[in-house]
């Protein structure tokens, strides 16, 4: 990606949002499919689970629903195939089956390039944050083990913090709020142009854009780039390694 492309993306963002300039302070990273290569397991387990219950959800389609609640995904498939929503009990059983399958999968590896990028981000003076819909209790411990000395617990947004989840902008708005509290900025002190969002999922991109934040898509899955660009992604990389290699250019433009 050349520098011009990044500059054009920023200019477009500024025109859309009415800001005069970017003032990057923190980067909000999604977790599944961005920091960890975990989406393959999720997609495979969703597909197998639905098949077990006589429902059809192709693996690629699971990527389209990434970020939705389990109940939300189950009901979309149920409505499409049967014409009615799943009962509470069905939702419970289907989601439990999927979670059990997922927990038997090998633990996902760190996404290649992710740690190296985070080290660069932090060294640039930009605060790395995690904003995820995941609610695993061992999340922080796992993040700290895989990404030592990068994240602060007070600057994490998880399933326990939010009511709606992505594609609602709530998780990213809450990330900004946590940053404000932590830095003790005045209310006026925190604005969307001080952040970037890093997302791999269409619904996650939608949430970042709806929060008014410059949203960088990283297409680490099987969907076409258009699935992310059509949701309003401001920039797109094809891997975390590519983003890592381009960080200096991105940072030069975003801090300017």
Positions touching Mg ion (CB under 5 A) are: 30, 32-33, 200-201
Which residue has the CB atom at the shortest distance from Mg ion?
33
Looking at the Cβ atoms of 36 and 195, the one nearer to Mg ion is 36
Between β-strands 214-218 and 26-29, what pairing exists: parallel, antiparallel or unpaired?
unpaired
Looking at the Cβ atoms of 22 and 121, the one nearer to Mg ion is 121
Task: Mark out the alpha helices in the chain (DSSP H runs).
Answer: 3-17, 39-52, 59-64, 70-82, 88-104, 114-123, 139-146, 170-183, 202-210, 225-229, 240-255
Q: Please state the closest distance from residue 20 (CB atom) to Mg ion, in A.
A: 31
Q: Please state the closest distance from residue 132 (CB atom) to Mg ion, in A.
A: 8
Looking at the Cβ atoms of 38 and 78, the one nearer to Mg ion is 38
Q: Please state the closest distance from residue 198 (CB atom) to Mg ion, in A.
A: 9
Looking at the Cβ atoms of 32 and 170, the one nearer to Mg ion is 32
Tell which residue, 209, 175, 185, 227, has the closest CA to residue 26: 175
CA distance 199 to 147: 18
Tell which residue, 98, 108, 101, has the closest CA to residue 39: 108
Q: Please state the closest distance from residue 18 (CB atom) to Mg ion, in A.
A: 29
């Amino acid at each position: 990606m050349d520098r011009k492309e990044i500059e054009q993306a920023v200019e477009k963002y500024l025109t859309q949002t009415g800001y005069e300039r970017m003032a990057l302070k923190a980067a909000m990273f999604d977790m599944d499919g961005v920091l960890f290569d975990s989406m393959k397991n999720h997609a495979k387990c969703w597909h197998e689970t639905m098949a077990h219950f006589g429902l059809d959800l192709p693996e690629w389609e699971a990527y389209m629903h990434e970020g939705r609640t389990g109940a939300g995904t189950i009901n979309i498939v149920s409505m499409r195939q049967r014409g009615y929503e799943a009962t509470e009990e069905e939702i419970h059983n289907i989601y439990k089956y999927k979670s059990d399958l997922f927990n038997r999968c090998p633990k996902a590896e760190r996404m290649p390039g992710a740690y190296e990028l985070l080290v660069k981000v932090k060294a640039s003076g930009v605060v790395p944050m995690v904003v995820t819909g995941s609610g695993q209790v061992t999340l922080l411990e796992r993040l700290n083990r895989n990404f030592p000395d990068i994240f602060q617990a007070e600057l994490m947004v998880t399933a326990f913090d939010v009511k709606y989840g992505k594609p609602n902008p709530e998780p990213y708005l809450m990330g900004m709020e946590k940053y404000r509290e932590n830095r003790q900025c005045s209310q006026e002190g925190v604005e969307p142009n001080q952040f970037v969002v890093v997302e791999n999922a269409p619904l996650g991109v939608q949430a970042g854009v709806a929060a008014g934040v410059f949203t960088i898509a990283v297409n680490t899955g099987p969907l076409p780039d258009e699935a992310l660009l059509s949701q309003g992604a401001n920039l797109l990389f094809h891997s975390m390694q590519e983003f890592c290699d381009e960080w200096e250019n991105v940072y030069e433009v975003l801090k300017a």
